[in-house]
Amino acid sequence: MSSRVTIEDSNAIRATAKPDEASVRPEDREAFRARVAALDSCLDGATVQDASKRWGVPRNTVSRMIANACLLDEAHARIGYRACVPHMRFNQSERKAAIVPASPHAFAIDAVLSAVPELRKLVESFRGTLPTKTKRSPGFDRLHRQVTKVLGHQGYGTMYPLNTGDQGRRRLIQYIKRLRGARQAEMTANLAEDPSATRIEHLLTIRPFDRVEYDEHVIDIDAWVAMPMADGSLRFEKISQIWLLAIIDVGSGAVLGWRVVTGRKYDRHDVLALFAEAMAPWVPRELSQSEMQYSPNAWMPSAYLTDNTVMRSTMVAMDNDSSHLAKQSVDNVMDHHMGILHFGRSGMGEGRPHIEAFFKRIEDGLFRYVAGGYSPATDINEKQITSTLEGKDYPVLLEVFEDLVDTYVTAYNVTSRSTREPRSPKRLIDEHLASGAWVWHAPGAARNIRQMTVFRKRVTIRGSQGKGIPPVVYLNHARYRSPKLFGQWDLIGKTFDATYEDWQDVRLLTLWWKDGKRMVTLHAMPPYSECAHTLSVRLRAARWAKHPEAKDQESFDVMDNVRAYHDAVRKAATGIKDPGARLAAGEVPNAPQTRKLEIEAPLKGVRQGLTTMRLR
């Protein structure tokens, strides 16, 4: 082949479109770029030897590219830069004296088709479906019968492939597959590079707080939840799953908020409470376990305040799961978090890849090593026990477990990521803020946080004028009264709309008239009046108090159930060995040992009862 190029050929080659690099196999892309550069050098006047040395392409390859680039394809179009694609063939190598072989060898089917041109035309015109191991192809069966008939009529009955067991059926399938693959590669190379716009990252450069992703993840576990009871014992409930809800920033990878739900599936109130927590400044928790500690650089993005306001994202991406399809959840996020709400398809984690990567990391790095943790069985793997601790010996204390997750997340936000050059989420946000880029701080954050988690109920005022019982509302294990209702006996039996306006303090319950005007704000009575608490803590405290011995009021020296409940949690936590301190400190857990460890159960001898009550 001649490697000389005329001016006309050079201009014609330059006029052809360069194939899209994405159409080239990943392992061939570096060689493709070198070949394009070598061809351009030759078109600019360099010799084949100079282009070969400069770009590391063999001389015979450069010469062959130049010759092929000047050729015309079957559609009479210049091949041009398509000649640079590795392993692409542009002309059929015809044997000078093609004969039908007597025995099989490499490319024997090619020799047969070259020796019998009518068979080549017949095979290359086949457009039907090829057979598979589980499905036949009548069209290919007809083609194979025609091939054997032509060879038999021409006197090749004792030659290859008719002298083999399958009469060349398998080799003929392989030839058609190879032929179709070459055609597909050629067609792909002809396509001009077309920008993709299937994701928002393809249109815009995502910076910190441009887009956040919310999702939920279920972790399988074989454990028990321990409930502190009034007599100092622990009451247990078996759990098989833990739900983790989280919000993560795409631009930096920082976790903005998280929430753990055990013993039940999360609901819309958990989703809204999570967004409210992400909009409020982060405050380190008072850790219940004395051995557990925060990382020295523990940090959450909500610690950065401007005018006492937390930074908010421009877009929230969340899946369209049935748990938060309720109109209240959609309206609250749009009206009070504001910005753009992007609903994705339910169960399609590909739309939120960054938070799915976080779930995988926290599951493999933390949850799998909590007592009772295991990796569930899949289609290719059996169930694998990942924790050497038995769940029944190390039950889950909810407050202590939440402390563990908080220490992990705050350390995660300051840990460098190899996929980010490597930089930590905190460093990426610091650099973004230092550049002077605009970050959205929405006004009225305190009001938005309260309104985000408004809990709406229909309540009926109870009481009895004859028995002297003032008007009262019973809701969620508490009694609500207000001095403004004393003497208003006509309100007894009437129903009103009621709301908890502050999700962090459900001691206040507001009643509303039908026209939307505020009627009165009621206050919770003892034993839920002393400490500010959320609804979930209220329900836990109520279950703490539901015990036969708790009815003896003389045994109570603490009047507030919420305070007593937290005291009981801290007291119980000191007697339970928890691996959280090592995990929170960043230590890598040891691989599960094959021999069974002899571990003394810290709760041995404590009465363990089962309850059918659902944990909230």
3-state secondary structure 217-272: EEEEEEEEEEEECCCCCEEEEEEEEEEEEEEEECCCCCEEEEEEEECCCCCHHHHH
Q: DSSP character for 365?
A: H
Q: Which of 409 and 102 is assigned the larger pLDDT? A: 409
Q: Judging by beta carbons within 10 Å of its beta carbon (0-12, 13-18, 19+), is residue 390 exposed, middle or buried?
A: middle
Measured CA to CA, the distance from residue 580 to residue 291 in angstroms comes to 8
Cα dist from 221 to 241, 373, 408, 468, 596, whole Å: 5, 5, 18, 52, 19
Chain center to CA of 38? 43
DSSP-derived 3-state class of residue 313: coil
Residue 156: which of 112, 93, 211, 96 has the closest Cα?
Answer: 112
Report the distance separating Cα 416 and Cα 113, nearest Å.
60
Measuring CA to CA, which residue among 268, 363, 275, 395 is closest to residue 321?
268
The mean per-residue pLDDT over the stretch 202-226 comes to 85
Rounded CA separation 459/465 (Å): 19
Q: What is the distance between the alpha carbons of residues 237 and 219, in angstroms, rounded to a whole number?
A: 17
Give the per-residue pLDDT at 187: 62
Looking at residue 582, what is its pLDDT? 41
- The Cα–Cα gap between 253 and 276 comes to 20
Tell me the Ramachandran region of residue 299: left when phi exceeds 0, alpha when psi lies from -120 to 50, beta otherwise: beta
Helix then strand then coil, in percent of the chain rounded to 5, is 40, 15, 45
- Segment 539-552 shows an average pLDDT of 62
Cα(540)–Cα(500) distance, rounded to whole angstroms?
18
Cα 158 to Cα 172: distance, rounded to the nearest angstrom: 18
At 412, is the pLDDT very low, low, confident or very high (cuts 50, 70, 90)?
very high
- pLDDT (0 to 100) of residue 266: 81
Tell me the sheet residues that pair with 373: 221
Q: Which of 260, 317, 153 is nearest to 540 (CA)?
A: 260
Could you tell me the pLDDT band of residue 441, with boundaries at 50, 70 and 90? confident
- CB-based burial, 456-491: b 16+ in 10 Å, e otherwise: eeebebebeeeeeebbbbebbbbbbbbeebeeeeeb
Residue in 186, 107, 171 with CA at minimum distance from that of residue 140: 171
How many helices (H) and strands (E) the chain has is answered by: 17, 16
Q: Is the pLDDT of residue 228 over 80?
A: no
Distance between CA atoms of residues 331 and 334, nearest Å: 5
Nearest residue to 364 (alpha-carbon basis) of 395, 333, 386: 386
At which residue do the structure tokens 């608490």 appear? Answer: 533
pLDDT at 387: 83
Cα-flanking dihedrals φ and ψ of residue 235, to 5°?
-110, 140
Looking up tokens 């129903």 gives 495
Look up residue 25 and give its two tokens: 């196999």
Is pLDDT of 22 > 70? yes
* Model confidence pLDDT, tens digit, residues 122-156: 888 888 889 988 888 989 999 999 999 988 888 88
> Is this prediction's pTM over 0.85?
no
What percent of the chain clears pLDDT 70, i.e. is strictly above it? 78
525, pLDDT greater than 80: yes
- Contact present, 432 and 252 (Cβ < 8 Å): yes
Nearest in space to 275 (alpha carbons), one of 254, 247, 249, 295:
247
pLDDT value, residue 603: 33
pLDDT band at residue 616, thresholds of 50, 70 and 90? very low
Residue 334, number of CB atoms within 10 A of its CB: 13
Q: Tell me the mean pLDDT in the region 197-215.
A: 76
Under the banding of pLDDT at 50, 70 and 90, the label for residue 612 is: very low
**Considering the chain, what is the average pLDDT of its residues?**
79
Reported as a pLDDT band with limits 50, 70 and 90, residue 589 is: very low
**What is the C-alpha to C-alpha distance for residues 498 and 503, in angstroms, rounded to an integer?**
14
How far is Cα 434 from Cα 122, in angstroms, rounded to an integer? 69
State how far the Cα of 278 lies from the Cα of 527, in Å rounded to an integer.
30
* CB of 232 closer than 8 Å to CB of 274: no
**What is the per-residue pLDDT for 358?**
92
- Taking the C-alpha atoms of residue 28 and residue 24, their distance in angstroms, rounded to an integer, is 6
- Helix ranges, 398-531 (H): 398-412, 425-434, 445-452
Q: Are 339 and 317 in contact (CB under 8 A)?
A: no
C-alpha distance from residue 271 to each of 99, 220, 326, 362, 614 (Å): 74, 20, 11, 19, 19
